[in-house]
Structure 1
């Protein structure tokens, strides 16, 4: 006969298993999109009644919804479809050198709203927090329609200590040791999590974009704030001890190059830059679509200065990708921002340059592709930070 302590221990273990299974099911629905309950049963290895009970609990918590599937030719009763509730939302914030962008993202990955507040100058950390809070306040009508707001995720172009959201160094923003997460939490009253923007972009592409299904990938993004990178190893983001891993923008690509703001010489982001591309194109600024068109037109017209600059930048980019290939042995390299535009204008050329330089064994299964999420990438990536605690431990609104 079991003692009361043994019975209590058994109950505790069963409850822990239930919570684990609840998180597993919610995570699968969140990442995969609408999925049949029968597919959840097959993927988890749990029996149908257990999955039915877990889904029912997630419905009661207001995290998922069930609907009847579309008609099919399969024999028997069709399995209900389970989908993450789009009205459970997270807020996403991305401070930039000339703007602060705020988004509202649903648990199903839908970007409901995206507001870019131009500053015209580099904002200080307190200023960026105040702007983000004001934009969020202006989104109250949208948020009032949401079933629940879980918190804020912040994508920062710099080194972020993930334990407390302190921005250790964001050189293009001129921030150093700024407690940005705490500042934003105080301004909004919401829980805030912050991390490096490129690492969040890598995770977003892995879950919802070009990297879906890839367990080993490297993501590089190029923008006005330089080049950032994120690395996924074995399906998990590579963070390092404090969250600073993956700074490929400061990989040496030219020993005879110019000095970078980081203090080193010949970094990738000093040799490969959006500014240089815009200069040879004669453009003051350009969004990704405009840059694509301008580069394609210049190449088609055979404009020598543009063609030479593209070739120069592709060469240095290939050197950095060689290093990434040899060090991480990824199956996929995903290029975002202006790096995606460079890749689009000469995809075979870039792949050839990398293949020529990388170890053949390390690169034999490598594909280089353009990011798919476009302007949504940092909103989705930052929102994942805010959703992570909820997915790990599903709960109702009163317990949030």
Structure 2
């Protein structure tokens, strides 16, 4: 295929710009698109018309509350354009259909009593996609599969270099899933994708310098946003905060010898404190709230160690906001100002003076939305590809 002409290239970029705007901002009037892009009204009408014909956006009647000036149709991402988002974990495989409009019409958590193999993961995904496309997604345009994996994922080709809790090493997961489903696949580290989701749509929206830590069944991972862009590192492995060795002020707080952060600040330890084998985050939060002194002491211990790890991150990266997801949000939520104060007490004063700590606002959707963004990336880059 020949390269596009300069005019075609400009048109492609303008189509991508409009599609990304309605994807990120939600329904937007044509008038707002004209103002935001500085393109004229006839150009906007032409571009929107092409996106409608491509089945990527829909136009709706003008907002009836608008009483001044000429009514302007509203442009919205077509909910029938969906990505399949997947998060394999040690205790479950979560799979969802995420719309280009950010709706999540389908979601399933498949509980497991064994560790998933890569081949089993690909097969389970293919089975669910097949069932959904024969049923609820019969009228949908499924553009691809995005996978948020708790481990090191090579940015260049989606190779899972090491997902230690799943016991996956050098797994070509992208190719396995693409072959099983017949759909394009994209693979990323779960916490990196969670950081992207929270930056675009959640607690870090509007901030350009962000540290995100996610706590899950497989441990603690993280993502970093610098000047509005994900910081991936040379191979794509940035953000492994859980593998850092925390400073622990009191030996009485130490539980894991010379363990790393995720050995001390641990979902498994929280579950043990409330006598549960497994629970999703809302159930764990409810159990901790209802539990007695022993559980409260474990939460306080983990908060103290977490605060030191966060202070180190603040000193190194100087973020405007730190966002905590998963079980880290669970232990932070009861007293976010108190945790912020613990971090500020240990960080350099200039680095932490305007720091905000926030709980991930996308809650259990964060990794699914991040995985969907990976699957939508090519479409958003070139809507006509």
CA distance in structure 2 between the aligned counterparts of 1:293 and 1:120, rounded to whole angstroms? 23
Aligned to 1:170: 163
Aligned to 1:357: 346
Aligned to 1:156: 149
Aligned pair count reads: 378
Alignment match of 1:244 (pick from 237, 241, 250): 237
1:324 aligned to 2:317?
no
1:15 aligned to 2:15?
no
Aligned to 2:322: 333
Deviations 1:345-400 (A, max 9, x none): 222221110110111211222111111112222211111111000000012xxx5x
Alignment match of 1:142 (pick from 136, 140, 158): 136
CA distance in structure 1 between the aligned counterparts of 2:143 and 2:224, rounded to whole angstroms? 26
CA distance in structure 2 between the aligned counterparts of 1:366 and 1:61, rounded to whole angstroms? 44
Q: Is the 8 A contact 1:329 1:363 kept in 2?
A: yes
Aligned to 1:90: 83
1:312 aligned to 2:305?
no
Cα RMSD of the aligned pairs, angstroms, is 1.8
Aligned to 2:337: 348
Once the two structures are TM-superposed, the CA of residue 286 in structure 1 deviates from its matched residue by 2.5
Q: Is the 8 A contact 2:247 2:309 kept in 1?
A: no
CA distance in structure 2 between the aligned counterparts of 1:385 and 1:31, rounded to whole angstroms? 14
1:58 aligned to 2:51?
yes
Task: Give 5+ residue unaligned stretches, structure 2.
Answer: none
Q: Is the 8 A contact 1:102 1:136 kept in 2?
A: no
Once the two structures are TM-superposed, the CA of residue 304 in structure 1 deviates from its matched residue by 3.4
Once the two structures are TM-superposed, the CA of residue 73 in structure 1 deviates from its matched residue by 4.8
Q: Is the 8 A contact 2:256 2:264 kept in 1?
A: no
TM-score by length of 2: 0.93
Once the two structures are TM-superposed, the CA of residue 274 in structure 1 deviates from its matched residue by 1.0
1:218 aligned to 2:176?
no
Stretches of 4+ aligned residues off by more than 4 angstroms: 255-260
Deviations 1:148-193 (A, max 9, x none): 1111111100001122221000000000001111111111111111
Deviations 1:68-100 (A, max 9, x none): 122125322122111000101111121111222
CA distance in structure 2 between the aligned counterparts of 1:374 and 1:307, rounded to whole angstroms? 22
Q: Secondary structure at the match of 1:269?
A: helix
CA distance in structure 1 between the aligned counterparts of 2:225 and 2:342, rounded to whole angstroms? 23
Once the two structures are TM-superposed, the CA of residue 280 in structure 1 deviates from its matched residue by 1.8
Q: Is the 8 A contact 1:165 1:181 kept in 2?
A: yes
TM-score by length of 1: 0.90
CA distance in structure 1 between the aligned counterparts of 2:322 and 2:236, rounded to whole angstroms? 20
Once the two structures are TM-superposed, the CA of residue 14 in structure 1 deviates from its matched residue by 2.1
Once the two structures are TM-superposed, the CA of residue 51 in structure 1 deviates from its matched residue by 1.8
Q: Secondary structure at the match of 1:181?
A: helix
Once the two structures are TM-superposed, the CA of residue 213 in structure 1 deviates from its matched residue by 1.7
CA distance in structure 2 between the aligned counterparts of 1:305 and 1:115, rounded to whole angstroms? 33
CA distance in structure 1 between the aligned counterparts of 2:88 and 2:290, rounded to whole angstroms? 32
Once the two structures are TM-superposed, the CA of residue 216 in structure 1 deviates from its matched residue by 1.4
Once the two structures are TM-superposed, the CA of residue 336 in structure 1 deviates from its matched residue by 0.9
